[in-house]
Structure 1
Amino acid sequence: MQHPSITEKYFPALKERNFRIYWLGQCLSLIGTWMQNVGQSWLVLELTGSAQKLSIINALQFFPMMLFSLFAGPIIDSFPKKRILLFTQSALAILALILAFLTWTNIIQYWMVLILAVLLGIVQLIDNPCRHAFVIELSGKEALTNAVALNSTAFNLARMAGPAVAGLLIEAIGIAPCFFLNGISFIAVILALLFIKVQVKTDLKKPESIKEILNQTKEGIIYTARNKNILTPLLLLGVISLFIINYNIMIPTFSKTILHRTVSGYGFLMTSLGLGSFFAALTLAMKSTKGPTLIRLYGGALGVSIAYITLSFQTDYTVTALLLGFIGFCSISLSTSTNAVLQLESDNAHRGRVMSIFMLIFGGVTPIGALYSGTVIERFGVPIYLQVSGAIGLAASIIALFNIHFLSHVIRKRNRNLK
Structure 2
Amino acid sequence: MVEQAAQPSTTLFGRYSHAWRALRHSNFRLFFAGQSISLIGTWMTRVATSWLVYRLTGSALLLGIVGFAGQIPTFLLAPFAGVLVDRLERRNLLVWTQALAAVQSLAMAALTLAKVITVPEIIALSSLQGLINAFDMPGRQSFLIQMVEDKQDLGNAIALNSSMVNMARLVGPAIAGVVIGAVGEGYCFAIDGISYLAVILSLLLMRIAAAPARRAIGSTIDQLKEGWSYVTTFRPIRTILTLFALVSLMGMPFMVLMPIFASQVFHGGPHTLGYLMGASGVGALVSAISLALRKSVRGLTTMIQLSAALFGAGLILFGLSRNLIVSLLLMLVVGFGMMQGLAASNTVIQTLVPEDKRGRVMSYYTMAFVGMAPFGSLLAGALAHRFGAPHTVIITGSFCIAGAIWFTTELKAVRAVMRPIYVEMGIVKQPLEQAVEESAGTR
Deviations 1:43-96 (A, max 9, x none): 000111101101111101111111111111110000000000010000000110
Asked whether the 8 Å contact 2:308–2:341 carries over to 1, the reply is: yes
Whole-angstrom CA distance in 2 between matches of 1:161 and 1:69:
29
Distance 1:7 1:309, change over 3 A: closer
Pick aligned residue for 1:81 from 79, 83, 90: 90
The one of 134, 143, 162 aligned to 1:152: 162
Structure 2 counterpart of 1:170: 180
For 1:71, the equivalent position in structure 2 comes to 80
Aligned residues: 416
- Select 2:310's aligned residue among 290, 296, 303: 303
Do structure 1's residue 121 and structure 2's residue 138 form an aligned pair?
A: no
State the alpha-carbon separation in 1 of the partners of residues 351 and 296 from structure 2. 13
Measure how far apart 1:126 and its partner are. 0.2
Q: What is the CA deviation profile of residues 170-224 of structure 1, one whole-angstrom value per residue up to 9, with x for unaligned ones?
A: 11111111000000100110000010011232261147xxx81121111100011
Indicate conservation of the 8 Å contact 2:64/2:377, yes or no.
yes
Looking at CA atoms only, which structure, 1 or 2, has the larger radius of gyration? Answer: 2
CA distance, structure 2, for counterparts of residue 182 and residue 415 of structure 1? 41
TM-score by length of 1: 0.96
Which sits farther off after the overlay, 181-190 or 281-290? Answer: 281-290
Q: Is the 8 A contact 1:41 1:248 kept in 2?
A: no
Q: 2:62 matched to which residue of 1?
A: 53
Written as runs of structure 1 = structure 2, the 5 A alignment for 1:6-405 is: 8-140=17-149, 141-202=151-212, 204-206=214-216, 212-291=219-298, 293-405=300-412
Distance 1:115 1:292, change over 3 A: farther
2:276 and 2:308 map into 1 onto residues whose CA distance is: 21
AA aligned to 1:377 is: A
Q: Amino acid of the residue matched to residue 19 of structure 2? A: Y
Q: Is the partner of 1:418 in helix, strand or coil?
A: coil
Helix, strand or coil at the partner of 2:267: coil
Distance 1:401 1:349 in 2: 30
Indicate how the Cα distance of structure 1 residues 292 and 103 shifts in structure 2: closer, same or farther if over 3 A, else same. Answer: farther
The answer to whether the 8 Å contact 2:155/2:297 transfers is no
Deviation (angstroms), 1:413 = 5.4
Partner Cα distance (2:280, 2:420) in 1: 33
Q: In structure 2, do the counterparts of structure 1 residues 81 and 7 end up closer, same or farther at CA, with 3 Å as the change threshold? A: farther
**Secondary structure of 2:219's aligned partner:** helix
Q: In 2, distance between residues paired with 1:13 and 1:7? A: 13
Q: Deviations for 1:338-364, whole angstroms, at most 9, x for unmatched residues?
A: 001111111010000000000001110
One-letter amino acid of the counterpart of residue 95, structure 2:
L
CA distance, structure 2, for counterparts of residue 401 and residue 85 of structure 1? 37
Q: How many percent of aligned residue pairs carry the same amino acid?
A: 32
Distance verdict in 2 for CA 1:230–1:101, change over 3 Å: same
Unpaired runs of 5+ residues, structure 2, are 1-9, 429-443
Q: Which moved more, 1:120-129 or 1:4-13?
A: 4-13
Structure 1: which 5+ runs fail to align? none
Contact 1:21 1:196 in 2 (8 A): yes
Distance in 2, Cα, partners of 1:183 & 1:203: 30
Partners of 1:290 and 1:361 lie apart in 2 by 21
Q: CA deviation at 1:412?
A: 5.5
Root-mean-square deviation over aligned CA pairs: 1.8
Task: Identify the range of structure 1 (247-256 vs 302-311) with the bigger mean alpha-carbon deviation.
Answer: 247-256
